[in-house]
A = this chain, B = another copy of it.
Amino acid sequence: MNVSFFQELLNSIAERGRALLDGSSAAASGSTLTELARSLLSGRGEASGVALAGEILSAYSRADEAGKLEFFRFLLNQLTPDQEEVFTAARAYLEDASQKTLSELEMAVESPRQEFFRRLNLAPGATRCIVAMRADLIAMLPQVPELRLVDADLMHLLGSWFNRGFLVLRRIDWSTSASILEKIIEYEAVHEIRGWEDLRRRLDPADRRCFGFFHPSLVDEPVIFVEVALTAEIPASIQDLLAAQVAQDSEAKSPTTAVFYSISNCQVGLRGISFGNFLIKQVAEDLAKEMPSLKTFVTLSPAPRFAAWLVRTANEDGSQLDAETVTLLEDSSWAAHAEYHERLKSVLMPLVAEYFMVARTGNGSPVDPVARFHLGNGARLERVNWLGDKSARGLRQSHGVMVNYLYDLDDIEKNHEAYVNKGKIAASKAVRSLVTSSARTKLDNKKRKEADMPANATAAVDE
């Protein structure tokens, strides 16, 4: 798909259009971003539209922080439905609620920002710029929360454009172009890739795989990618997995287990538009087809809020840990001293089980965000791995704990429905048996309280 060829041609048209703009309106060269934006919507010609769209993207790219903020405020305050029209249409509907008045009301309230962004997309390379524009906008939201309305329009549009029906799965390997591979190094969010040699170890060996979703308009970077290891059993430690020598030939040819050990979203500007669920399932299907020996599809995942939760519950309910343990856990040096391992393990493992199986956020969801993702996808919490991640970050965030989520293709839908509709957490017997009776009591209390609550806030250990 020769997009660059396409966009090159668009360029020339845009340039020509720009020349016209310069000529016809003396002010054009000095036009502010907001003046240009206004023209784009009022302009009636398509050709000038392309030129104007190009102008706007170019002016935007040159703008500083203040200029961008001004532009977003313009979108917020000016590209807004005409109040009188909305009044009229709203009154008409209230008087006579017909499909005709509804349709007129719908048209009256539609944010002109949506049409603005659609026209902006005429310019060459615009989709990429619009995604980047939203990344800028997201960064401003904490300071300027009212821009959420602009963000809602952008996300609405990008959600439609980046509909999964338009994404394409492609394998990423050592024969992939360097321009894409450097994005993999840059975007890997979970387990840092330290340069090209490290990247090669993730992609090139016969027992490693990487797949990404690509959108035709973002040709040289994925929107999301997943790294996979093909192994003989479910792995318990990320360091062991990454350090592993390439499996012996025979093993590499008939691995039984595909381990999804890292999933990274690449585009901040697409935040809130989720692809991960789909990517995992598609890759699982793909691998199962390619290698019939693969029977087990599993993750090796962090428990990123465990340590924080432990502190918080201690503050709220009184610590479940004795003072010495608390002291030990304060820094991560214990991990280097094998003599502490057994004791800490016996103390922490039940708490990990409680963290995953019993603890809930205010709205009744599991506390662990990774758990929410995989359970929501229909996976099952399969195993808790003591000292699965001995990296500084792993010890700090989760006292080294990692977990495996199992994607059993036959149960995915059932687990997903049970989780979404009844809040049931699918877990293996081994994990469930780690939950202590006192934790179980807390859970029962929760259940009782939630009896009257709507279904999706319920939570249950499935026994």
Contacts and interface: CB of A to CB of B under 8 A. Distances in A.
Interface residues of A, number: 90
A318 to B, nearest CB: 37
A434 interface: no
A275 to B, nearest CB: 10
A385 interface: no
B417 A122 contact: no
A27 interface: no
B166 A216 contact: yes
A198 to B, nearest CB: 12
Q: Which of A146, A216, A282 has the most CB of B within 10 A?
A: A216
B80 A87 contact: no
A16 B176 contact: no
A414 B20 CA distance: 8
A364 interface: no
A310 to B, nearest CB: 31
A228 B122 CA distance: 25
Contacts of A406: none
Nearest to A3: B168
A167 B6 CA distance: 8
A47 interface: yes
A152 interface: yes
B1 A216 contact: yes
A110 interface: yes
Given A47-B378, A177-B176, A178-B174, A165 B123 contact: yes
A220 B413 contact: no
Given A47-B416, A282-B10, A99 B1 contact: no
Contacts of A121: 163-166
Interface string A381-422: 000000000000000000000000000010011101100110
A103 B91 CA distance: 17
Q: Which of A160, A176, A217 has the most CB of B within 10 A?
A: A160
A415 to B, nearest CB: 10
Interface string A24-66: 1000000000000000000011111001000000000000000
The 3 A-B residue pairs with the shortest CB-CB distance, nearest first, are A20-B413, A121-B165, A90-B90
